Amino acid sequence: MNLAALAHRPESEDSFLYTDKTLHLRFHTAREDVAKVTVLYGDPYWRIPDAHGDDQLVYQRETMTLLGTGQVLDHWGVTLEAPYRRLQYLFEVTGQDGTVWLYGDRGLRQNSADARHEAENYFRMPYFQAIDRVKTPDWVKTTVWYQIFPERFANGDPNNDPDGTKPWHPTDHPGREDFYGGDLQGVLDHLDDLQALGINGLYFCPIFTATSNHKYDTIDYLNVDPAFGDKALLAKLIHAAHQRGMRVMLDAVFNHMGYGSLQWQDVLRNGEKSRFASWFHLHQTPVTPFHNPLKGEGQPQYDTFAFEEKMPKLNTANPEVQDYLLMVTTYWIKTFDIDAWRLDVANEVDHHFWKKFYQAVTAIKPDFYVLGEVWHRSQPWLNGDEFSGTMNYPFTQQIEDHFFKRRRTAAEMVALLTDQLMLYRDQTNQVMLNMLDSHDTPRILTLAHGDEDLALQALAFTLMQTGSPCLYYGTEMGMSGGADPDNRKPMDWTKLGQPIWKRVAALVDFRRQHATTLGTGMTRLSVTDTGLIKVVRQGREMLTGYFNTTEHPVVVNREAVFAQGFVDGQLAPKGFMVVAG
């Protein structure tokens, strides 16, 4: 047995309260090295006299389930309950070679009766306190999100179009500075279309006053950009969405401000004497024309998002900045009843600010959804006091690497996805935002080289996964587009109700029909002997999905409840099928 590979970390994603009464444990061993893992567990204060009259702890046994196999590790899991809301536990590991070892808090022990009764080597969950449980909003687990880039969704009111607005041509290849007149009225006009698609969550890119078309250079956090409408229109839109059972998530850009903001303009005028000088990260004053080291211009005089001179970075360690941003945060919740914030460039903002942010929003709405933009492993933000979840790019890009780019085999993808699921608690995985494309990435149809069957196969696979799925506007219309800004074309409303729309709507409907199981059920990923990717989801029901990413048809002797490319018992390449059980 590979003893060096045995791993467990208490009070983490390996040991956590899932409900107030249930403890989920995970244990990790070398791949295909261990035959069985058993948990020995009991109350830390429960003792009975042995034959010699000495007190001896009492333990029960529970066999762990193999949750899945990753790149180099097998992952095991079990759910335990404790009548007195406290627990101690020890792992008994049986290798494929027949050896048995005990793994505990103070290290490895050879298996023996004395070692099994060594109370000091048991891990402890001292007390099951509801306050210690990482909580995530239940409603997110049954939500299908739809990301709206407001400037390109629909032009509902030409009267607020910016100067130079271009005609609405979905086949255009937009430039970075182009405007097409999309606005909030356009969204309101199409709410029924989104409801018909099955959407029950609206995720808006920024809507606050800014000079750009994308609005990530905020000038005024307390007003709707005039090109999009006004506060009265936003309130009407949110109310109409709520009436249709749709939650609303707005985008907060708190890492940086826009160049035209009152605060930054004051710094440009007054330098270090500005009352807002400490709101930013200034290296020298007065601020001179921006230096970009990528262009050989020397070092910048102030910190920015990336090297964008028009986006000076905020000093969120400054109490004044914190107070201002928290005022903005709570204003839109209290006044407009929004349900969630998406946080731009969230990994570059101070942790202690996000802790204050989380306390502020959940004090108003305990089930408020806080979504951070983090493109890498996110454990530091997902311990229950900063974010509910993050944009799950590391997960969904593994899907793209296999389905679209063929950088990974099916087995490699399954292993990587399984490892990803082990990074976070179950309740956290269930509210991660799973999207195959967004305003920051090429569209999935472009990644699929225009192959609708392939694009929809990958989308169906994503909708079968743990996590809250999100469609980027226009996916249902079969829109294409490369990297930014080509992925931000005007919406193609001519495809509404067309075959591609119907196929996407059917996928969304399937996810919604089985929302509880797909939102909260167990997930097990594997590859069959015939090369099919197998996804087992078990909750209130059991659903098994098969995805053919090979180059030949595969016989499947099952009856499908939902399928693409399954005819006469054969699953075609780019096909998928879901069976009950």
From 74, 373, 386, 437, active-site residue: 373
Handedness of CA 535, 12, 9, 112 (dihedral sign): negative
For the CA atoms of 403, 404, 409, 412, the dihedral, rounded to the nearest 10 degrees, stands at -80
Cβ-proximal residues to 576 (8 Å cutoff; 6+ apart), any chain: 457, 460, 461, 545, 546, 547, 548, 563, 564, 565, 566
CA 514 to chain centre: 19
CA 552 to chain centre: 33
Three-state secondary structure call for residue 335:
helix
Can you spell out the DSSP letters for 394-423? HHHHHHHHHHTS--S-HHHHHHHHHHHHTT
- Helix 351-364 and helix 319-336, axial crossing angle in degrees, nearest 10: 30
Token pair recorded at residue 174: 């937009």
Three-state secondary structure call for residue 345:
coil
Cβ-proximal residues to 407 (8 Å cutoff; 6+ apart), any chain: 401
Cβ-proximal residues to 357 (8 Å cutoff; 6+ apart), any chain: 325, 326, 329, 370, 386
Distance CA 86, CA 91 (A): 17
- Helix 393-403 and helix 452-463, axial crossing angle in degrees, nearest 10: 140
From 14, 74, 339, 344, active-site residue: 344
Whether 344 sits among the annotated catalytic residues: the reply is yes
Amino acid at position 516, single letter: T
Which residues does the annotation mark as catalytic?
Answer: 344, 373
